[in-house]
C-alpha cells in the first residue's frame, strides 16, 4: 500500500490548470453554439445538426471538468442524509439496463447518517458504480456493501471486471485519464474531489482479470469543515 502525497498534489494542480482552460474555452464555444442555432433557423442543413451535437459533447466535457475542479461553484448545501438511501436510488437507475451482471447489495446499517452534499455524493457513487459495471465484459458481479467501522460509514464497491494494471493505478483520478473508447476520464476526478471535500477517504485494490474494489469511508454524522481542494487522497493496493 502506498499513499503518494506528491503525486496527489500534482493531480490537484493539473485539475486547476484544466479548470482554467475549461473556463476559457467554454465562452467562445457557447458563442459558437448560439450562432449555429441562428444559422440553423435561417438556413437549415444536416451538417449543422452534426456540428451542434459535437459541440454539445465538448461543452458537456467542459462542464464536467468545471464541476470537478470547482465543485463549490455549484453551491450545494450540506445536509444530514442517509448514504444508503442515496446509493439505493443510484443502483435503481442501473438495474433495468443490466442483463448479464448480477448486483448484490447489503446495507448493514441503513439508517447511518452522514453530513454531505447530496447531489455531489450521488454523482460520485453513480460514477463509481458505472465504472464497476463498465469493467465487466459479459457476465459478472457488482457487490455494494455499506457498513460502519469506527466512526465511519464504509462503502465498498466491488466488481469482477477487467481490473486495473499496476502501472495505471497512479493515473486514476487524473482528469482525462481513460482507457475507454467513449470515456471522458472525468468520473474518478469528480469522485476524488467530492470524497476529499467531505473529509472522506478512498482506496482501491485491483488485480487484472480478477476485479477491482473501491472502498470509501465517510465520517459518520460529523459536520465537516468547508474545504478547498488542495489535495486528493487515494491509497493504492496492487492486489487483493
- Residues near ligand ADP (CB under 6 A): 127, 131-132, 135, 159, 161-164, 172, 177-180, 183-189, 212
Q: Does 135 bind Mg ion (CB under 5 A)?
A: no
Residue 99, all three cell numbers: 442483463
User: Binding partner of residue 179 among ligand ADP, Mg ion, none, CB under 5 to 8 Å per kind?
Assistant: ligand ADP
Report which DSSP code applies to 198. T
User: Binding partner of residue 142 among ligand ADP, Mg ion, none, CB under 5 to 8 Å per kind?
Assistant: none
Q: How far is the CB of 189 from ligand ADP (least distance, A)?
A: 6
User: Binding partner of residue 120 among ligand ADP, Mg ion, none, CB under 5 to 8 Å per kind?
Assistant: none
Q: Which stretch binds Mg ion (CB under 5 A): 52-60, 87-95, 130-138, 210-218?
A: 130-138
69, 84, 120, 131: residue in contact with Mg ion (rule CB under 5 A): 131
Query: Which position's Cβ is nearest ligand ADP?
Result: 187
Of 218, 213, 85, which is closest to residue 156 (Cα–Cα)? 213
Is the CB of 114 or the CB of 121 nearer to Mg ion?
Answer: 121
DSSP string, 130-179: HHHHHT--SSEEEEEEEEEETTEEEEEEEE-S----HHHHTTTTSTT---
Q: How far is the CB of 132 from ligand ADP (least distance, A)?
A: 5
Q: How far is the CB of 156 from ligand ADP (least distance, A)?
A: 12
User: Binding partner of residue 178 among ligand ADP, Mg ion, none, CB under 5 to 8 Å per kind?
Assistant: ligand ADP
Q: How far is the CB of 211 from ligand ADP (least distance, A)?
A: 7
Is the CB of 114 or the CB of 120 nearer to Mg ion?
Answer: 120
**CA distance linking residue 36 with residue 199, whole number of Å:** 44
CA distances from 14 to 77, 79, 99, 187 (A): 26, 30, 38, 15
Query: Which position's Cβ is nearest Mg ion?
Result: 187
8 three-state secondary structure = helix
**CA distance linking residue 47 with residue 10, whole number of Å:** 41
Residue 196, all three cell numbers: 476529499
Q: How far is the CB of 219 from ligand ADP (least distance, A)?
A: 24
Report which DSSP code applies to 1. -
Q: Cα angle at 33 between 31 and 39, to 5 degrees?
A: 105
Instruction: Look at the alpha carbons of 53, 58, 63, 68 in this order and tell me if their dihedral is positive or negative.
Output: positive
**CB proximity list for 99: less than 8 A, separation 6 or greater:** none
Q: How far is the CB of 22 from ligand ADP (least distance, A)?
A: 16
Is the CB of 64 or the CB of 112 nearer to ligand ADP?
Answer: 64
Is the CB of 19 or the CB of 164 nearer to ligand ADP?
Answer: 164
Q: Interface with Mg ion by CB under 5 A: which residues? A: 131, 187
Amino acid at each position: 500500500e502506498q499513499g503518494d502525497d506528491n503525486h496527489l498534489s500534482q493531480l490537484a494542480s493539473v485539475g486547476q490548470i484544466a479548470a482554467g482552460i475549461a473556463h476559457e474555452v467554454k465562452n467562445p464555444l457557447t458563442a459558437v453554439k448560439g450562432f449555429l442555432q441562428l444559422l440553423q433557423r435561417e438556413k437549415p442543413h444536416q451538417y449543422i445538426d452534426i456540428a451542434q451535437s459535437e459541440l454539445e459533447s465538448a461543452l458537456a466535457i467542459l462542464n464536467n471538468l468545471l464541476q470537478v475542479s470547482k465543485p463549490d461553484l455549484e453551491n450545494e448545501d450540506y445536509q444530514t442524509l442517509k448514504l444508503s438511501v442515496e446509493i439505493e436510488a443510484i443502483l435503481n437507475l442501473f438495474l433495468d439496463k443490466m442483463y448479464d451482471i448480477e448486483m448484490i447489495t447489503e446495507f448493514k446499517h441503513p439508517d447511518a447518517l452522514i453530513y454531505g452534499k447530496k447531489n455531489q455524493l450521488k454523482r460520485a457513487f453513480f460514477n463509481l458504480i458505472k465504472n464497476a459495471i463498465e469493467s465487466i465484459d459479459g457476465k459478472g458481479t457488482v457487490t455494494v456493501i455499506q457498513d460502519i467501522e469506527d466512526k465511519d460509514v464504509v462503502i465498498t464497491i466491488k466488481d469482477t471486471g477487467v481490473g486495473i494494471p499496476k502501472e495505471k493505478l497512479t493515473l486514476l483520478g487524473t482528469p482525462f485519464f481513460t482507457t475507454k473508447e467513449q470515456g471522458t476520464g472525468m468520473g474518478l476526478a469528480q469522485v476524488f474531489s467530492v470524497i476529499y471535500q467531505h473529509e472522506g477517504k478512498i482506496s482501491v485494490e485491483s488485480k487484472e482479470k480478477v476485479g477491482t474494489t473501491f472502498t470509501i469511508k465517510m465520517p459518520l454524522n460529523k459536520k465537516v469543515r468547508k474545504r478547498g481542494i488542495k489535495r486528493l487522497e487515494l491509497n493504492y493496493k496492487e492486489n487483493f
